[in-house]
Amino acid sequence: MNGLKHRERVKDLRETLNKIKGKKEYLLKEMRTIADTIKTCTKQKMDIEEAQLIIQEVAKQTQQELEYHISEVVSTALSSVFDDPYEFKVEFVIKRGKTEADLYFIRRKERVDPLSASGGGVVDVASFALRIALWNLLKGQISNTIWLDEPFKMLSRELQPKAGEMIKMLSDKLKIQFIIITHNQDIIESADKVFEIKQNSKGVSEAV
């Protein structure tokens, strides 16, 4: 009787041991799977961090190129019109978690707010040049013809001839065709071709 109990006890112990072995093998397999997953995730994390660094560097270079391109076009336009010109600057900064563009003037080494500390004529020329800078960035994607309706209204009369020369300079340099609607004779004199439009007796506009 004792022998039978002993055999049953041994049998139970073997079954328990086999269960423990099976559980151990399962846990080892799970550990290997987790280790492989950790290895894969670590590799993916490193790849993502590397990609983020590349994206950040490309974005930084792109922003620097944009800053230079826009600043150059606008500053060139300003220096063509004004004897003591403002230098235009665009700077990309992070505000509220987003990238924004700060636009400002530099004059005599001081930063100037375009809207509150500079004349309307300066803003008039700068806003025009910003349009041209944007067009130049999209060159090949949009038409090379730009329409202007009575430009530079805020610019003083003595600077109007220089504004006309500046338009012609940008036209020649950037290969833009400007079609300008204006009564300003100083602007008209800088044009390659002039078409005079008048209303006939019936009130219809027609070329003279």
In this structure, what token pair is assigned to residue 152?
């530079």
Q: How many CB atoms lie within 10 A of CB 73?
A: 23
- pLDDT confidence tier of residue 2, bands split at 50, 70 and 90: low
| Contact criterion met (CB below 8 Å) for 70 and 130 | yes
Predicted confidence (pLDDT) per residue in 105-128, tens digit: 888 788 888 776 567 788 888 889
pLDDT, residue 7, reads: 72
pLDDT tens-digit map of 164-197: 999 998 888 888 899 998 888 888 888 888 888 8
**pLDDT score recorded for residue 52:** 73
Instruction: List, for residues 20-61, the tens digit of each pLDDT value.
Output: 888 888 888 888 888 888 888 888 888 777 777 776 676 667
What is the mean predicted confidence (pLDDT) over 153-157?
87
Of the candidates 208, 155, 150, the one whose C-alpha atom is nearest the C-alpha of residue 184 is 150
Cα 61 to its chain centre, rounded Å, is 11
